[in-house]
Amino acid sequence: MNTGKRIGEAATLTGLSAHALRQWHRRYDIGPSFNSGGGQRRYSDQDIERIQRIDRLRQQGFSLATLAEWPMASLRQHTERDQRRLVIGWTGRHYTVLAAEIPQADFVPVGTLGKRPPGCDVWVVECPTLTDDQLDDLPESPEALSILFYEYANRRQLTHLERLGYECHKGKPTTRWLLDRLNTFAPGTGGFSLEELSALMNVKPDLNCECPNHLAGILRELTLFAQYSLECATNEAKDAELHQDIFRHVQTSQRSVLSALHSVLVAEQLDVKTLPLD
């Protein structure tokens, strides 16, 4: 049974002193999250990873106050420059679907409108019916890309959002639209919608094999399971960390299969956008 790590073990694993760990916890809330019972808190494996990544970035010049606000996805992104992926903050109900279907970006759920999520390259906000109260809550976004989807809004509200620096689009976010938009911002952000994968499963390849069909089928199953894991992490607070870990492992597999599928599609000279979708 995992009971978490005491501060001495955490100090050994992170290379920091126990005194430094206590200071980080007290000043910046960078500390143990695992409740071992009896009022004692211990360091989980994710706490250790978080501290290690924060310390690495601190040595590169980032302030602890800034790093303390960053989600794990942003910390991973900035400490893995050779595998850099976009970090997308997401406010809205399509978070789990889009996060599962676009494995080459890291999605971070954002629960409030009042502050742009720290460490994110892109912020996507869903406001089906845009109200003046929501408009008042939204912060300025003059530099970083912020995209707002709406169903109902008036011209005054949209004009105000444009002044704040938001890119506004009527309708619901779709995987293909978001992929195309992200590729203008960061080329190489790949993925397929479930509908596109279903179409690829039924295409007749020119190759003397059914590799495109099988790879599309594998990726579709992985995508569905990634969405399931993420929904479990969102809805079940008790096992949220476990399901987040499962989700990350599944996404690693998705990225591998996605690369293989892209190679086959290039060999086939097949553009998924030309396929009929159900």
Over residues 157-174, the pLDDT tens digits come to: 999 999 999 999 999 999
**Cβ atoms of residues 101 and 191 within 8 Å:** yes
pLDDT at 271: 81
% of the chain exceeding 90 in pLDDT = 33
How far, in Å, CA of 172 to CA of 179, rounded?
14
pLDDT at 3: 67
Q: Does residue 199 or residue 115 have the better pLDDT?
A: 199
The token duo for 14 is 């992170």
Burial letters 123-141, b for 16+ CB under 10 A, else e: bbbbbeebeeebbeebeeb
Confidence of residue 1 (pLDDT cuts 50, 70, 90): very low
Bridge partners, 90 (sequence order) = 109, 124
* Alpha helical stretches, state H, 80-210: 95-101, 132-137, 155-164, 175-185, 194-201
**Cβ atoms of residues 276 and 199 within 8 Å:** yes
Highest CATH level, class, for 7-69: mainly alpha
The closest alpha carbon to 124, from 153, 86, 152, 155, belongs to 86
Q: Does residue 204 or residue 226 have the better pLDDT?
A: 226
pLDDT, tens digit (0-9, with 9 covering 90-100), for 221-253: 999 999 999 888 777 667 777 888 888 889 889
| Residue 27 reports pLDDT greater than 50 | yes
pLDDT at 253: 92
Average pLDDT of the residues in 193-205: 89
pLDDT at 38: 64
* Mean pLDDT over the full length of the chain: 85
Average pLDDT of the residues in 119-144: 88
**Of 26-30, 213-217, 235-239, where does mean pLDDT reach its minimum?**
235-239
Confidence of residue 140 (pLDDT cuts 50, 70, 90): confident
CATH 3.40.50.1360 fits 83-185, yes or no: no
The token duo for 248 is 């990350």
Confidence of residue 82 (pLDDT cuts 50, 70, 90): very low
Q: Kindly state the helix (H) or strand (E) to which residue 30 belongs, with its residue range.
A: none
| Residue 85 reports pLDDT greater than 80 | no
The token duo for 254 is 């998705």
How far, in Å, CA of 23 to CA of 36, rounded?
21
The closest alpha carbon to 220, from 256, 188, 184, 193, belongs to 193
Order of strands, sheet of 86-91, starting from the edge strand that comes earlier in the sequence: 105-109, 86-91, 122-129, 145-152, 166-170
pLDDT at 81: 52
Strands 40-42 and 34-37: antiparallel
| Residue 153 reports pLDDT greater than 70 | yes
**Of 47-51, 63-67, 217-221, where does mean pLDDT reach its minimum?**
63-67
Q: Does residue 169 or residue 77 have the better pLDDT?
A: 169
